[in-house]
Homo-oligomer: A and B are copies of this chain.
Amino acid sequence: MPQKQKPKIEDVAQAAGVSIMSVSRAMRGVEGISQKKREQILKIARRIGYYPNNVAVSLAASSSNLVGVSVPTLFGTVFSEIYDGMRSTLEKSGFATIIDVSDYSISHEEAWVERMISWQPAGLVLTGVDHSERTRDALRRAKIPVLEIWDYTEDPIDLCVGVDHLKAGAQMGTHLTELGYKNPAYVGVQSGKDPRADRRFQGLEQSFDDADCQFCAQDRDAISATFEAGFKATERLFEDETINPDVICYLHDNMAFGGLMYCEQNGISCPEDIGIIGYNGLAINEVLAKRITTAITPRYKMGQDSASLLIAKILGAKTKRTISHPVIIEEGQTTRSQSN
């Protein structure tokens, strides 16, 4: 019969006829107790429905099994997938995650980090490598393992697992110039909002520059990278008769899909009249008659790797500090060689 009140460690100790320290050791699976006693205690704990109070555990041990994760958004599946990979791996090692959605705001992230540190988390995961000085300060002082994800730097606060977006942009640009595209347009969001997208854009620019081309237009009116924003931006692009791109580079597959839809619905043939390239390699691509040319990012895997690295660091194991994941250019049917 379970008791009325929530059982505490003392109740287990009493029921088992041992000290609370023995129960503590048994529950945590640490050394310093005989195998026999441990099993007995665990059995009794289960019987009376005892679960350690995590709050008390964390206070006494001065650290919790919480990991704080800050992502800019949960829309668009990109961060959902990264997070999912991370969460499932962390969970296996007994960590729980507290999530934050910063909406791409550095100051939001800053406030969250400060609040989060009050939970004495075992680790913190931040998206990107752009943080406020105050955030860096708080992190430094708290001495908590910090992992930066999605973006890549050789010189992280602590650990970094991500994609070199500058390089990814350059790869895409090179791919396009090799196909013979000469007059690219760009569709994205407000400059400064998404640093990774901005870096990819720079990479694209460099590659095109190397081929003596430059962007004939940039549409950055969108607030977020949705299907509809891609559709609308493409509409604006084609309504302006002074520009005449041969390929449109979209921030993201979802925007690219919106753009593709605009073209199909307005008699613009792709890839004949216009090339389209996205980014990420999202699931929707799998079912399209005309698969979008894109750069595939290994999101779930990245999440898993991130978690492994962070766990290693938390447990004090030696690990590399950074992992850079390459993107894979996937040639779809929305681009083709221009040399005919």
| Chain A interface residues toward B at CB < 8 A | 2, 6, 49, 51-56, 58-59, 64, 66, 74-77, 80-81, 83-84, 87-88, 96-101, 114-120, 138, 141-142, 226-228, 230-231, 257-258, 261-262, 264-265, 283-284, 286-289
Contacts and interface: CB of A to CB of B under 8 A. Distances in A.
Given A59-B55, A75-B77, A264 B289 contact: yes
Given A54-B119, A117-B51, A286 B75 contact: no
B261 A142 contact: no
Contact of A283 (B58, B83, B226, B283): B226
A289 B289 CA distance: 15
A96 B115 contact: yes
Copies per complex of this chain: 2
Given A55-B120, A74-B74, A257-B284, 10 more contacts: A6-B142, A51-B115, A54-B119, A55-B59, A96-B116, A96-B119, A97-B98, A231-B286, A261-B289, A264-B289
Q: Which of A66, A96, A261 has the most CB of B within 10 A?
A: A96
Given A77-B75, A97-B98, A265-B289, A284 B227 contact: yes
26 contacts: A49-B138, A51-B118, A54-B118, A55-B55, A55-B58, A55-B120, A56-B59, A59-B59, A66-B98, A74-B74, A74-B80, A74-B83, A75-B80, A75-B84, A76-B77, A77-B80, A80-B80, A96-B115, A96-B119, A97-B98, A97-B99, A98-B99, A227-B287, A228-B286, A230-B287, A231-B287
A171 to B, nearest CB: 26
A88 B98 CA distance: 14
- 6 smallest CB-CB distances across A and B, nearest first, come from A54-B118, A74-B80, A261-B287, A231-B287, A227-B287, A55-B58
A2 B114 CA distance: 15
Contacts of A99: 87, 97-99
Contacts of A80: 74-75, 77, 80
Given A87-B101, A227-B283, A287-B261, A55 B51 contact: no
A309 B292 CA distance: 43
Contacts of A114: 51
A55 B74 CA distance: 27
Contacts of A284: 227, 257, 284
Contacts of A83: 74
Given A74-B84, A117-B51, A2 B227 contact: no
A285 B49 CA distance: 49
Nearest to A57: B118
Contacts of A49: 138, 141
Contacts of A74: 74, 80, 83-84
Contacts of A53: 59, 118, 120
A254 B66 CA distance: 34
A83 B141 CA distance: 32
A228 B283 CA distance: 8
B101 A98 contact: no
Contacts of A226: 283
A96 B119 CA distance: 11
